[in-house]
Amino acid sequence: MSSREQKAAEIRRLLATEGEAVSENARGFNRGREEATAELDDYDELKATARARKEDAIERLPELIEQVRESVEARGGNVYLAEDEADANAYVREVADGADVETAVKSKSMTTEEIELNEALGAAGVDVWETDLGEFVLQVAEEAPSHLVGPAIHRDRESIAELFEAHFDPGESLETADDLTRFARTFLGERIADADLGLTGANFVAAEEGTLVLVTSEGNARKTVTATDVHVAVAGAEKLLPSVADLGPFLELIARSATGQSLTSYLTFLTPPGSAPTVDFEGDEMGAPGDREFHLVLLDNGRFEMREDEQLRETLYCIRCGACANACANFQQVGGHAFGGETYTGGIAGGWEAGVHGLDSAAEFNDLCTGCTRCVPACPVGIDVPWINTVVRDRVERGADPSRFDFLVDGLAPDAESGGSLQKRLFGNVGTLAKVASMTAPVSNWLVQSTLGKWALARLGVDPRRDLPQFRRRTLRDWFESRGRTRVANPEREVVLYPDVYTDYADVERGKAAVRALEAVGVGVRIPSLPESGRAPLSQGMIATAEQAAERVLDGLEPHLDAGRDVVVVEPSDLAMFRRDYDRLVPERVDRLAANSYEVLEYLHGVLANGADLDALADLDGERLAFHPHCQARTLELAAHTEWVLEERGADVETTTAECCGMAGSFGYKQEYYELSVAVGEALSAELPEDRRVVASGTSCLDQLADLGRSPRHPVELLASAG
C-alpha cells in the first residue's frame, strides 16, 4: 500500500470505530462552549487579559523560574528544571528510589504523557496507576489519549463495560455509567490508599507563592496528594504565571472553553507542603502537613527553543482546554487518534508536537488542519492555530526531499518554493493551472475527466471520485469586457470586484450575479486583471509563494484604493486572506486593503443600510432557504449580513451550525482525505432540510454540496436579476 492508501485506510478505520463517540462528545463540548461563553458579558475582555498575561509570563519566563524556585524552596520543597524527557524521568526515578516507592498514583497530566513517565517508572519497578477515570480506561486498554481534556472520548459506555469485564472479571455485571464509575472508584481507592508517591501535573503554577493550581472534576488530584507522603508535580515551564492574583480570567475561561461548564467541580490551590494533614490509610494515622516531601519538576523539552521561535512561541500560551479540537470539523469526525501526534491532539498539537517531539511527529497529522479558522474565535488565549499549522507545513515541506517528479509541476508552477510534495505544489499553483485549463477548455476539462487524466491526477494524489471544477473558456473578465464593462453611468460609488481564480475561471455565473447585484443598487464595478490572492499556496504551506502573491495583489489594488474604490470579494477565503492572513504575510502594507475590502453580501448590506433601494434586488418572497456560511466567513462574522439581505428580500432563512463543509479548498480532493471530507460534508448535509433551497458562499462549500447531491447556489445569484 502506498502511504496515501495507508493513511486513507487508517482514517476509514477510525471513522468506523471511534467516529461516532468522538463526534458526539466533541460536538457536545463545542456547543457547550458556545453557550457558556455567550453568557459572559466580558468574554472578549477576559480573553484579551488572559492573552496579555500569558505573553508577559512567557516573556519573563527565566525570571519566573527563579522566583518559583525561591518560593518553593523557602517552604522546604524542591524545584528541578528538566532539560528533556530523559532528564525529567531520571529525576523522578531518583525521588521514587529515595523514598522506597513501590506504588504511585497519578492524576491527569498531559505533560507526564509527553515524557512517558509511566513507562520510565515502570521500568524502575514502580507501579503507576492513573486515577483520572478517563486515563484509567486508557491505561487498562493500552491506548493513547484522543483528546486533551477528555482522553477517552473515543470510547462509549458499552466499550468501557466490555473492557472492564474482560480485564477485571469483576464478578458483577457493570452496565451503567454509575456501575462503571463505582467500580473504578473502589479499585482506584485501594490503589490510592496503598500508594507512596502522588504524581500530578499543574494547570497553572504561580511563581510568587509557589502555588500549583489544578482544574479537575473528579477529586482524584486532591486524593492523590492527600493520601501520599511524597508529591511530585511535573509541569511544562510555560505553566508559570507571576502570581495567584493573575488567575482570575483563566479560571473564568478554562472550563467554559473546554466543555461549557462555568467551573469544574474543583479548582485546587496547593502551596506545598501545604496545610492539609497527610492521610496514611495503611497505618491508620493522620500525619502533619510538614511530613510531605515535595518536588516541582519544570520541563523544558523544547519549550525554551519554542520561546525563541517567533512563529511557534504562541503555542506556549496554550492552556490546553481542547476548544480548538472541539471546534474542528475534521476532529469531530476522527478525533485525536488521527488528528494528533505522539502526545497532543487537535489543532494546537501542530505547535506542541513540532516543539516538543519535532517536525516528524507534527508532519503525521498536519494536513488535517485545513485552515478553516473555526478554532480561532474558540481559543481563550487567542492563538492563531491555523497559522501555526501553516508554518509547520511550510517547514515540513521545505525540509522534504525535492521530489524526482518535480519537473512535472515545475513547468506549470512558478512558485518560490524549494522542495515540497508534488501534491501540495499542484494545489498550491492552482491559479496558474486554472489559467492554462481555461485557455484550453473544453479540451482540458475533457482531459482531466478522462481515464487517462484521472490516472495522471491520481498519481499526484487527486481523488478520482471527485469531479474537478469545470474551467470555462470565457472567463468572468471576458464577459465583463464584452458587455462593455460596467453599466452604471457616473456612479456615486465604484468598487473593484476581485476576480478570484474560481469565480473568474470556473464559477463565472456567481461573478456575473455579483456584478448585476452591485449595479442594481447603483454601484459601479471594475474588474481589473489581478493575480491569485495567495490562498492556494498558503493552504499548502508555501509561505514564500503566498507572500509574493500578496505583494502582487497589493501592487494591483493600491492604485484603486488610492482612487477611493472599495474592494468587493466573492470568494470568502480570499477575503480572509485580505483581512487576516495578509497581516502575517505583508504586515506593513495590509491595513488599507483590510479596512476597505468587503464580502459581496456584506457590501450590499452596507449600501442598502445606507438607503439604497432594496427593491432593486430580486424578490425572494416565499423562498425557504438553508444557508451554509463559509467557515472563514463565520470567523469573520459575515454570516449575519447575508441573512439580513436575504430576509429583507422576503426569504425565510435557516443557517447551519456545522463549522465547515469538509471540502476546505483542496483538502477534499486529496485521495487520502476524501472519505473524511465526505464524512464532514454529510454532517453538514444532515442539517439541510430537503424542503429548503441550499445557498452557500464559498467555492469549496458549493462543490462539496454539489457532490453530495444538493444543488446549491451562491446567495448573490438569487438576488441578482438576469440581464
Partner 1 sequence: MAGDVDAFETAAREVNAEVTRTTAGEFDAAMEDVLVDPAVGTPLPYHGVSLPGWVETDPSPSDLAAAATGVTSAGLGVVESGSVVVESTAAGEDPTSLFPERHVAVLAASDLVADVSAAVEHLAAVAGEGRDAVIETGPSATADMGALVYGAHGPRAVHVVVIEDR
**Contact residue for ligand SF4 among 77, 198, 322, 371 (CB under 6 A):** 322
CA 393 to chain centre: 14
- Contact assessment for residue 586 and residue 551, using Cβ atoms and an 8 Å cutoff: yes
Task: Round to whole Å and give the CA distance between 408 and 415.
Answer: 13
Q: Is 639 in the site for ligand SF4 (CB under 6 A)?
A: no
- Cβ neighbours for 258, distance < 8 A, ≥ 6 positions apart: 29, 33, 149, 321, 322, 323
The type of residue at 333 is: Q
496: helix, strand or coil: strand
How near is the Cβ of 324 to ligand SF4 at its closest, in Å?
Answer: 3
Q: Is 380 in the site for ligand SF4 (CB under 6 A)?
A: yes
CB of 690 closer than 8 Å to CB of 493: no
Residue number, 48 or 140, with CB nearest to ligand SF4: 48
User: Does residue 57 interact with partner 1 by CB under 8 A?
Assistant: no
**Contact pick of 80, 109, 134, 720 for partner 1 (by CB under 8 A):** 134
CA-CA distances (angstroms) from residue 222 to 274, 360, 679? Answer: 12, 37, 41
Q: Which of 19, 198, 201, 274 binds partner 1 (CB under 8 A)?
A: 274
Pattern 549-588, ligand SF4, x by CB under 6 A? ----------------------------------------
Instruction: Report the C-alpha gap between 299 and 46 in whole angstroms.
Output: 28
Strand partners, 624: 652
Residues numbered 168 to 197 that lie near partner 1 (CB under 8 A) are 176-178, 180-182, 184-185, 188-189
575 near 637, Cβ under 8 Å? no
Q: Which does 379 bind (CB under 5 to 8 A by kind): partner 1, ligand SF4, none?
A: ligand SF4
Q: Is 128 left (phi over 0), alpha (psi -120 to 50) or beta?
A: beta
Query: CA-CA distances (angstroms) from residue 232 to 197, 247, 413, 651?
Result: 8, 22, 55, 62
Does 38 help bind partner 1 (rule: CB under 8 A)? Answer: no
Region of 100 on the Ramachandran plot (φ > 0 left; ψ -120 to 50 alpha; else beta): left
280 touches partner 1 (CB under 8 A)? yes
Residues 21-40 that bind ligand SF4 (CB under 6 A): none
Residue 385 sits in the site that holds ligand SF4 (CB under 6 A) = yes
Among 140, 251, 488, 612, contact with partner 1 (rule: CB under 8 A): 251
Q: Does 279 bind partner 1 (CB under 8 A)?
A: yes
Is position 218 an interface residue for partner 1 (rule: CB under 8 A)?
yes
319 part of the interface to ligand SF4, by CB under 6 A: yes
Phi, psi of 45 (to 5 degrees): -65, -45
* Residue 211 interacts with, from ligand SF4, partner 1, none (CB under 5-8 Å by kind): partner 1
Question: Which one of 126, 128, 133, 497 is in contact with partner 1 (CB under 8 A)?
Answer: 133
238 binds partner 1 (CB under 8 A): no
Residue among 286, 416, 439, 458 that touches partner 1 (CB under 8 A): 286
- Using CB under 6 A, count the residues that bind ligand SF4: 15
Range in contact with partner 1 (rule: CB under 8 A) among 237-245, 339-347, 404-412, 660-668? 237-245
Q: Does 33 bind partner 1 (CB under 8 A)?
A: no
Backbone torsions φ then ψ of 608, nearest 5 degrees = -65, -40
Grid coordinates representing 3? 502511504
Residue 606: partners with Cβ closer than 8 Å, 6 or more residues away: 598
| Contacting residues for 467 by C-beta, under 8 A, at least 6 apart | 449, 703, 706, 707
Which is nearer to partner 1, 84 or 282 (by Cβ)? 282
Name the binder of 385 from partner 1, ligand SF4, none, CB < 5-8 A by kind. ligand SF4
Q: How far is CA 89 from the centre of its chain?
A: 31
Among 324, 329, 369, 653, interactor with ligand SF4 by CB under 6 A: 324
Q: Is 60 helix (H, G, I), strand (E, B) or coil?
A: coil
One symbol per residue from 652 to 691: x for binding ligand SF4 (CB under 6 A), - otherwise; what is it? ----------------------------------------
318 binds ligand SF4 (CB under 6 A): yes
Residue 197: strand pairing partners: 104, 230
Contacts of 156 by beta carbon, 8 Å cutoff, 6+ apart: 20, 21
Q: Which does 79 bind (CB under 5 to 8 A by kind): ligand SF4, partner 1, none?
A: none
Query: Is the Cβ of residue 318 or residue 645 nearer to ligand SF4 in the bound state?
Result: 318
How is 450-468 classified by DSSP, letter by letter? Answer: SHHHHHHHHHTTB-TTSPP
Residue 209: which of ligand SF4, partner 1, none does it interact with, CB under 5 to 8 A by kind? partner 1
The one of ligand SF4, partner 1, none whose footprint includes residue 267, by CB under 5 to 8 A per kind, is partner 1
- Give the amino acid at 40: L
Pick the stretch among 237-245, 318-326, 390-398, 414-422 that binds ligand SF4 (CB under 6 A).
Answer: 318-326
Q: Please give the grid coordinates belonging to residue 385.
A: 492555530
The site partner of 378 among partner 1, ligand SF4, none (C-beta below 5 to 8 Å per kind) is: ligand SF4
Task: Decide whether 146 or 642 has the Cβ nearer to ligand SF4.
Answer: 146
H, E, C per residue of 498-566: ECCHHHHHCCHHHHHHHHHHHHHCCEEEECCCCCCCCHHHHHCCCHHHHHHHHHHHHHHHHHHHHCCCE
Q: Least distance to ligand SF4 from the beta carbon of 213, Å?
A: 15
CB of 319 to ligand SF4, least distance (A): 5
Neighbouring C-beta atoms of residue 282, cutoff 10 Å:
10
Q: Can residue 247 be called a binding residue for partner 1 (CB under 8 A)?
A: yes
Q: How many angstroms separate the CA atoms of 376 and 706, rounded?
A: 28
41 contacts partner 1 (rule: CB under 8 A): no
Single out the residue of 53, 155, 231, 320 in contact with ligand SF4 (rule: CB under 6 A): 320
How far is Cα 251 from Cα 235, in angstroms, rounded to an integer? 18
| Rg of the chain on CA atoms, in Å | 28
Among ligand SF4, partner 1, none, partner that 177 touches (CB below 5 to 8 angstroms by kind): partner 1
Residue 381 touches which member of partner 1, ligand SF4, none, C-beta under 5-8 Å by kind: ligand SF4
- 206 binds, options ligand SF4, partner 1, none, Cβ within 5 to 8 A by partner type: partner 1
Binders of ligand SF4 among 117-176, rule CB under 6 A? 148
Cis check: omega of the bond before 402, within 30 degrees of 0: no
380 binds, among partner 1, ligand SF4, none (CB under 5 to 8 A by kind): ligand SF4
> What DSSP line would sit under 232-261, residue for residue?
EEEEEGGGEES-GGG-HHHHHHHHHHHTS-
226 binds partner 1 (CB under 8 A): yes
Q: What 3-state class would DSSP assign to 55?
A: helix
Can residue 383 be called a binding residue for ligand SF4 (CB under 6 A)? yes
Interface region with ligand SF4, contact rule CB under 6 A, candidates 200-208, 375-383, 426-434, 509-517: 375-383
Q: Where along the sequence are the contacts to partner 1 (CB under 8 A)? A: 75, 131-134, 136-137, 150, 152, 155-158, 160, 176-178, 180-182, 184-185, 188-189, 206, 208-209, 211, 217-220, 222-223, 226, 243-245, 247-249, 251-252, 259, 262-271, 274-277, 279-281, 284-286, 288-289
**Contact set with ligand SF4 (CB under 6 A):** 148, 318-324, 348, 378-381, 383, 385
